[in-house]
Structure 1
Amino acid sequence: MEKSSPNYKQIFKDILDRKYPEKRNACENILNKTTLSIVDVIEINTKIFGKGIINNSQKFRSYKKSDILNILDYQKENGLNNSQLANHFRLSRNTVSKWKKLFLV
């Protein structure tokens, strides 16, 4: 049985409609996408709540392979080192190194 992921688009639309209607325009370009990647979810979460709301503990966060590859592509596109990427996405530098070893042979 395949585990389904949450409908982040609907979750964020509901949050914006009920609590933050003034931030809807800033998030519209992300919400118009067909599917949201983890990068999109982190970006819209930051736009709505700011960086302070994200828990520093990443112990229970999981990423799909496609999301990991998007994060590593983000690193290449923006010329970030592992520490900068880890800080941006609130990851461990060791996690970034492990992903690079696994997916960028």
Structure 2
Amino acid sequence: MGKKIQQLKPDYKRIYHDILSDEYPERIDEFKNILEKPILSFLDMLQLNQKIFGKVDKSIETFNQRHRSYSANDIFEILDYQKNNNLNNVQLANHFKLSRNTITKWKKMFRS
């Protein structure tokens, strides 16, 4: 019972590389600079996803949004994005397709 459960994270770098090599081999050079980073950040993954797949159907986007999870690093990156781009909570929420309440909650939790 005292065993620690190892929390595994998906290897997004490998996933995106496989998608590109299988579906869009001619576009691999376009994404080389992002895929060569040692660790992909949340913003890198959003950028890759948008550039590879473009606009997604609204119902699919809504479904995907419900199943996102954010690490503390992701949250800090989003809040730093807000600070660097002088966005208010509504603008940030619209940009990342989040709830205004989520942004407010994160700010209270992490920026006390």
TM over 0.5: yes
Correspondence 1:64 to 2:71:
yes
Corresponding letter in the other structure for 2:108:
K
* Equivalenced residues, count: 105
Shift of 1:80: 1.3
Q: Could you say which structure has the larger radius of gyration?
A: 2
Shift of 1:63: 0.6
Q: CA separation in 2, counterparts of 1:67 and 1:40?
A: 11
Which residue number corresponds to residue 13 of structure 2?
9
Q: CA separation in 1, counterparts of 2:16 and 2:110?
A: 30
Percent identity over the alignment is 53
- When normalised by structure 1's length, the TM-score is 0.89
Which residue number corresponds to residue 22 of structure 1?
26
- When normalised by structure 2's length, the TM-score is 0.84
Structure 1: state its 5+ residue gaps: none
Q: CA RMSD in A?
A: 1.6
Corresponding letter in the other structure for 1:27:
F
Deviating 4+ runs (over 6 angstroms): none
Return the structure number with greater relative CO, CA threshold 8 A, min gap 6: 1
Q: CA separation in 1, counterparts of 2:55 and 2:89?
A: 19
User: Residue by residue, what CA displacement relative to the aligned partner does 1:11-49 show, whole Å, maximum 9, x if unpaired?
Assistant: 000111111223323322211110112221111111111
Which residue number corresponds to residue 90 of structure 1?
97
